[in-house]
Amino acid sequence: MTSTQLLEMLLSCSLQIMILTGACMVLERAFPRPGDRYSLWKAYFLCVPLLVAAGLMLPKLRIFQPWQYADADTLLSAADVETLAAKVLIAIWCIGAVVMLVRWIVHLFVLQLELFHCECVSSGDLQQLLDRKLDLEFRKYQPRLLISDDAQGPYCLQMHRPVIVIPRKLFRLERDQVRHILVHEIAHLQNNHPLQHFIQQAVQVICWFHPSVSKASSHASLVREYCCDDEVIRCGIPYSTYLRTLLRIAEYAGCRKALPSITFGKTPSELKLRAKRLVESAGHDQAVPNRSFRKGRLAVATLLLIACALTQLSLPTDPLASSRTHWSSWPKWSAQALHCLGIPARDYEVFDRRIRPFEQLHETGEYANACG
Ligand SMILES: [Zn+2]
């Protein structure tokens, strides 16, 4: 892939991700249940790396070819500028991605250190704390329940074994309130949220420069919390009682630093939004909607269709692209893979990119005039 092709791919992918984020937000309005909304965001964080992979590995449809009207000098000048721009942007992206990756690894390391200093709740204390239903869930997922002196709020992790961490101060709340926290954290484990959070973080490292991805990430985190709040209410815990628990957590969380885990309330403003939503639901005496797998699948299928269509959306910025075909060539690596499987794939432009400006001269008749 040449520098001008790489720049075209980078700009096209950025546009595709922006449109995909917008589509996801519009679809959220059509499917307002938190479960369906979260299914959409789950699919979104899988679609983003797929769009990047498609940009690197698939040919593109070129409907508009604005460069066919440019003269040879303009093509060469634009190619020089774009080559320089591509090199600068790739260097900035690499630096940003490395910084984000190092930051993520450091946070995970800090989290591991924090776990190392946590106190494990004894089985006797646990038995006193859990009611029958919670006891069944604990037997199913077998999480380690840890008490921390440093945690920002309650959170869960899943590495080789699930872990639920509760700050010591919150562990001293009334027993019912601690149970609410545990029901909420178990709901995260039931729905496989730690893995989805990991994928979300990885996408943020790749697309660190894109504001749509950051916005989507905070949106997905909030919807994930809504889902688990609904699970708590679905367990028969009254809105007012659960709101009191949220309030105690908000008091504790204050302005402590967030870690890259599924924290009960990453920020006080997030807790405020969740509390506001619960107050509205309680005010309207709304029953928490049950999960609708059919609607969730429909929402995800619609988003996947949009993502498939977006793979062919490209910004025609490459001045050296052939104007004699509506399809770009296959990138070298995917073409080679297809050749190995015996599938013919065009992995070169219709004419050599190095002589593209001279071809342009022929097309416009300037070459003949210069020779004649
Ligand atoms: Zn949570």
More confident residue, 32 or 201: 201
Whose tokens are 């060539």? That residue is: 329
185 or 283, greater pLDDT? 185
How many angstroms separate the CA atoms of 97 and 324, rounded? 37
Please report the pLDDT score of residue 92 as a whole number.
94
The tokens describing 206, both together, are 């790749």
**Torsion angle (degrees, nearest 10) of CA 52, 57, 58, 63:** 60
Phi, psi of 148 (to 5 degrees): -120, 145
How buried is residue 88: exposed, middle or buried, by Cβ count under 10 Å (0-12/13-18/19+)? exposed
Distance CA 81, CA 350 (A): 23
Higher pLDDT, 291 or 223: 223
**φ and ψ at 278, to 5 degrees?**
-65, -40
Pair of tokens at residue 260: 């890259």
State which of 85-89, 141-145, 288-292, 320-324 shows the largest mean pLDDT: 85-89
**Under DSSP, is residue 158 helix (H, G, I), strand (E, B) or coil?**
strand
Distance 138 CA to ligand 1 centre (A): 17
pLDDT by residue (tens digit) across 224-254?
A: 999 999 888 888 888 888 888 888 888 877 6
> Using CA atoms, how far apart are residues 35 and 16, in angstroms rounded to an integer?
25
Q: Of 139, 138, 142, which Cα lies nearest the Cα of 182?
A: 138
Separation of 38 CA from ligand 1 center, angstroms? 13
- Residue 63 Cα, ligand 1 centroid: separation in angstroms? 46
Q: What percent of the chain has pLDDT over 70?
A: 86
Residue type, 172: R
User: If you measure from the C-alpha of residue 111 to the centroid of ligand 1, how many angstroms do you get, rounded to a whole number?
Assistant: 17
Higher-confidence position of 36 and 305: 305
Check if the beta carbon of residue 206 is closer than 8 Å to that of residue 251: no
CA distance 151 to 154: 7
Residue 268 CA to ligand 1 centre (angstroms): 13
Q: Cα of 221 to ligand 1 centre, how many Å?
A: 9
pLDDT at 46: 94
The pLDDT of residue 305 is 95
Could you report the per-residue pLDDT of 131-187, keeping only the tens digit for each? 777 777 777 878 889 998 888 888 998 878 899 999 988 888 888 889 899 999 999
CA distance 322 to 213: 33
Q: How far is the CA of 191 from the centre of ligand 1 (A)?
A: 11
User: Which pLDDT band holds residue 372 (cuts at 50, 70, 90)?
Assistant: very low
Distance 104 CA to ligand 1 centre (A): 20
Query: What per-residue confidence (pLDDT) applies to 282?
Result: 74
Q: How far apart are CA 355 and CA 102, in angstroms?
A: 43
Digit-coded pLDDT (tens) for 46-70: 999 999 999 888 888 877 777 777 7
